[in-house]
Amino acid sequence: MTDGNTYAINKHLDERERIDELLAENKRLKSMIADLIYDTGDDPKIMAAPRAEWAERALAAEDKLAAIEKLMLDLAGDKIDLVSELAGVKWKLEKAVEALDEAVYLLAPDDKEMMRKAGVYRIVTTLEELKNQSS
């Protein structure tokens, strides 16, 4: 695998992990908001908190939730760009394999020529490796 492909795969895995973290944080914040809204007020600390403090807490939680949702959308956009870029790399690789295959066919080297001409041998062996990897 090329360094570019390895980088793309690692970046995708890192983004997926970050999205999972954000989803967990999103769930925690939604739960916190629900708790603030539906709490019965039996906790002395809660009962002592003024209404303005509750409103401030709820707004802060909603702001944090909105920021996380925006970040998730940004990551999703990056993922779409990454998938598009990977498709372009795959297309270029397919074209290169096609060109090598056609060149080998047109050259039609026999075993003796392949032993004498290391360049032709390298092209033929590389083409076979690429064909086997893409299968």
Q: What are the pLDDT digits (tens) for 63-96?
A: 888 888 888 888 888 888 888 888 888 888 888 8
For the residues 18-37, what does the mean pLDDT come to? 81
Average per-residue pLDDT in the chain?
A: 77
Tell me, what DSSP letter sits at residue 117? Answer: -
Give 105 or 71, the one with higher predicted confidence.
71
Q: What are the pLDDT digits (tens) for 34-73?
A: 776 666 555 556 556 677 777 787 888 888 888 888 888 8
Q: How far apart are CA 52 and CA 59, in angstroms?
A: 11
**How many residues can be counted in the chain?**
135
* Model pLDDT, residue 37: 65
* Model pLDDT, residue 9: 80
Q: How confident is the model at residue 115 (pLDDT cuts 50, 70, 90)?
A: low
* Model pLDDT, residue 135: 60
pTM (2 d.p.): 0.39
* Model pLDDT, residue 40: 54
Q: Is the pLDDT of residue 128 over 80?
A: yes
CA–CA–CA angle 38, 56, 58 (5° rounding): 35
If one counts every other C-beta atom within 10 angstroms of the C-beta of residue 79, the result is: 15
